[in-house]
Chain A
Amino acid sequence: MPKVKMPRSNPSLDMTPMVDLAFLLVTFFMLTSSFRTPEPVVVDPPTSTTKTEIPKQVFMITIDNQGRAFIDLTNPAVKSRVFEKVCNQSGIKVDSMTVKKFAGSGAIGLKITAIPQYLELEANERTKVNQTGVPYDTTGKKSELYWWAYYTRLEAHADFKAREEEAKTRKLPFDKSNYIQFAVKAASDAKYDAVKNVIQVFRDAKVKQFQMITGLESEPSLK
């Protein structure tokens, strides 16, 4: 009887395609993911049924349940310019290193005089600082928050114009909707009066439109 020869199969698998895929995915996630900057306060916004997504660039005003206001800007270049202007306004001298640090610092809720000192700290020490919120409650005189709002509005407009000009000279398509907008992220249990007071400051600075950040809620029915 002739021997039946079983084909000898190689036990080692070719893993190359799998590894290729794994690296492809790693690259994809590395490039698309953006890291959240550490926030000084965690705020739980209320929910709504709206489906509009947050604009690309925002000046974020965070209001926690004690009424403290924190500010942040998604565009680092504009953020540093606004910072310089506000410092100038309050008569504080800052070097370019501090401005650079500020641009990458995430949300801040401090008096302008306390900010340079805060920026000197290491990232893990910053979280320990008890932030008092940007002051906005000075009656009569313009508050610090007012100047932040005022200069952001001006710089947002300048930034928009500059990008429009650049797109024109280089004959590139221009995204008109990409305008730095004002977003409010307030804690759901914050008092409305506190939110109103903050918004009032922005209205004084001639900011009229706000994007109120909310969580998602299910589809409504009218019945």
Chain B
Amino acid sequence: MAQIQDNGGGGHGKGDKKRAKKQSTHVDMTPMVDLAFLLLTFFVLTSTFSKPKVLRMIFPEKLDENVKDQKAPEVKDGITLLLTANDKIYYYRGSLKPNTELIPIDYTRTGLRKVLVDYNADMLVKLQDIQKRMNKLDDKDTAAKRKLDEEVLNVQKASKQIVLVKNDEGATYRNMIDVMDEFMITQIAKYYVIDEGMAKLEVDLIKKQGK
């Protein structure tokens, strides 16, 4: 489209004299800017920044079936957690007897966590003490820090608190992750998930409880 430029043109005579049209140097950038902002909005809304979090689990290598002399973890005073359907969870202390009483709990702070915190009280005190000393340390004092880290490991190794976890076919993956998470929170150092699941007696005891 032709445009009439009315912006004077120096001191030349106007009117009859034909002169080259002066092209405007301005480009209309509005569409480009519109597009830029559209893209900007798109990328801002679609990009995800938070990476998913992970809980690390280490499973022992499968035991050789040919070796007969395999020791099951000892449970003299240990806790056994029984995970079953409908988000129900039971526990008992010590070894399993026909008259063992299963105590029903839940996955909340007042249920499972309280049981584990009470059970692991000694170690929690020790770890908190180490943590306090750790906080007092200078950030640059790596040697002392490493020493304290080692101490934490030793405390964990010496821990006598053992928790066994067994599940039946009704337990969900969430139940297991919840239990693992509680172990992390309450600093249980030694826990075992039993591959075979519950024993026959335990299943029977749960059935009795359910009635």
Q: List A residues at the B interface (Cβ < 8 Å).
A: 15, 19, 22-23, 25-26, 29-30, 32-33, 35-36, 45-55, 63, 183, 185-196, 199-200, 203-204, 206, 208-217, 220-223
CB atoms of B60 and A208 under 8 A apart: yes
Alpha-carbon gap, A208 to B59, bound state (A):
5
The verdict on B69 contacting chain A, using a C-beta distance below 8 Å, is: no
Residue of A nearest to B32 (CB): A19
A203 B59 Cβ-Cβ under 8 A = yes
B51 touches A22 (CB 8 A): no
Query: Which residue on B lies nearest to A190, using beta carbons?
Result: B173
B132 at the interface (CB under 8 A from A): no
Partner of A188, one of B62, B109, B174: B174
Q: Which residues of chain A are within 8 angstroms of B109 by Cβ–Cβ distance?
A: 221, 223
B141: interface (CB < 8 Å) = no
Task: Answer yes or no: B79 CB below 8 A from chain A CBs.
Answer: no
Asked whether A214 lies within 8 Å of B54 as measured between CB atoms, the reply is: yes
Cβ contacts A to B, 13 pairs, < 8 Å = A19-B33, A25-B44, A26-B39, A33-B43, A49-B185, A54-B52, A192-B172, A211-B54, A211-B55, A212-B57, A212-B180, A215-B53, A222-B185
- Cα A12 to Cα B43 in complex, Å, equals 29
Known: A33-B43, A191-B169. 6 other contacts (CB 8 A): A46-B178, A48-B53, A49-B181, A203-B61, A209-B58, A213-B52
Contact across chains for B176 and A204 when beta carbons are under 8 A apart: no
| In the complex, residue of chain A having the shortest beta-carbon distance to the beta carbon of B124 | A222
Given the interface pairs A19-B33, A222-B117, the reply to whether A191 lies near B173 with Cβ below 8 Å is yes
Q: B113 → chain A, closest Cβ, in Å?
A: 7
Query: Are A26 and B55 interface neighbours, CB within 8 A?
Result: no
Is there a chain A Cβ closer than 8 Å to B161's Cβ?
no
CA distance A192 to B168 in the complex (A): 9
Give Cα distance in the complex from A58 to B37, angstroms.
Answer: 35
CB pair B167 A15 closer than 8 Å: no
Partner pick for A19 among B36, B167, B180, B184, CB 8 A cutoff? B36
Out of B53, B124, B171, B172, name the residue touching A53 (CB < 8 Å): B53
Q: Which of B43, B53, B57 touches A26 (beta carbons < 8 Å)?
A: B43
Please state if B173 and A26 are interface contacts (CB–CB under 8 Å): no
- Tell yes or no: B46 within 8 A of A by CB: yes
Q: Which residue of A lies closest to B120 (CB)?
A: A222
A30 touches B53 (CB 8 A): no
Q: List the 4 closest A-B pairs by CB distance, nearest first.
A: A29-B43, A188-B174, A211-B54, A33-B47
B56 within 8 A of A: yes
Do residues B186 and A222 form an inter-chain contact, with CB atoms below 8 A?
Answer: yes
Task: Check if B102 is an interface residue, CB within 8 A of chain A.
Answer: no
B137 at the interface (CB under 8 A from A): no
A212 lies within 8 A of B55 (CB): yes
Q: Which residues of A contact B181 (CB under 8 A)?
A: 48-50, 214, 217
Complex CA distance for A63 and B172, rounded to whole angstroms = 12
> Taking A29-B47, A212-B177 as contacts, is the C-beta distance between A22 and B37 under 8 angstroms?
yes
**Given A29-B43, A30-B43, A208-B59, residue A192 in contact with residue B113 (CB < 8 A):** no
CB of B91 to closest CB in A, whole Å = 17
